[in-house]
């Protein structure tokens, strides 16, 4: 079995979209520190989605069944990393979820749960699809590293610089 190594990609917002994003984020969020809650909420959602999917596919948990979120601060580098070992995202999911403002993957997940009459996990945060973008209130650059959990892999979430 071979393991594919994906090449990092950078995607920039066009100038008008970047300006719109700035206006939108600042109108939705009045406190700059909200970005941390939003990134932790996204990490918690990734862990919850893994927990839910592992009910049908326990092998997704692999050798690391304890779900966790880790914050790493590097004051010298001026970075903060929010890492989780949740479900992760494929390249396509990242392009769809992070490349489209106000599209909430959590909302879509909750809608699928509700359609299946599974409401116990319908308390996930992320109803508006703009939480991730609040990181731009405090960071000039945001990097997201992820891989969709298919077998026994951990998935780091995101970091802000």
Burial class (CB in 10 A: 0-12, 13-18, 19+), 54: middle
Mean pLDDT value across residues 98-111 = 59
Q: Which CATH number is 102's domain given?
A: 3.30.565.10
Q: Quick check: is 80 in a domain?
A: yes
Looking at the 3D structure of the chain, how many domains does it have? 1
Q: Quick check: is 53 in a domain?
A: yes
Q: Quick check: is 5 in a domain?
A: no
Q: Quick check: is 21 in a domain?
A: no
At 79 the pLDDT is: 94
- Grade residue 33 by pLDDT with cuts at 50, 70 and 90: confident
Q: pTM for this one? A: 0.65
Q: Quick check: is 4 in a domain?
A: no
Residue 83 has pLDDT above 90, yes or no: yes
- How is residue 93 written in tokens? 């999911």
Enumerate the β-bridge partners of residue 84: 69
Alpha carbon distance 35, 37 (integer Å)? 6
At 106 the pLDDT is: 53
Q: Quick check: is 100 in a domain?
A: yes
- How is residue 26 written in tokens? 């600042």
At 111 the pLDDT is: 62
Highest mean pLDDT among 10-14, 93-97, 135-139, 140-144: 140-144
Q: Which domain holds residue 89?
A: 37-160
Mean pLDDT value across residues 54-60 = 93
């Amino acid at each position: 079995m071979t393991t594919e190594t994906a090449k990092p990609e950078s995607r920039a917002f066009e100038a008008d979209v970047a300006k719109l994003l700035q206006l939108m984020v600042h109108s939705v969020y009045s406190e700059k520190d909200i970005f941390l809650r939003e990134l932790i909420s996204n990490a918690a959602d990734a862990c919850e989605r893994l927990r839910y999917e592992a009910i049908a596919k326990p092998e997704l948990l692999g050798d690391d069944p304890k779900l966790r979120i880790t914050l790493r601060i590097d004051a010298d580098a001026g970075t903060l990393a929010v890492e989780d070992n949740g479900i992760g995202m494929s390249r396509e999911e990242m392009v769809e979820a992070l490349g489209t403002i106000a599209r909430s993957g959590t909302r879509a997940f909750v809608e699928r749960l509700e359609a299946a009459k599974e409401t116990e996990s319908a308390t996930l945060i992320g109803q508006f699809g703009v939480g991730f973008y609040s990181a731009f209130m405090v960071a000039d650059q945001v990097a997201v590293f992820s891989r969709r959990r298919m077998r026994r892999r951990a998935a780091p979430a995101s970091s802000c610089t």
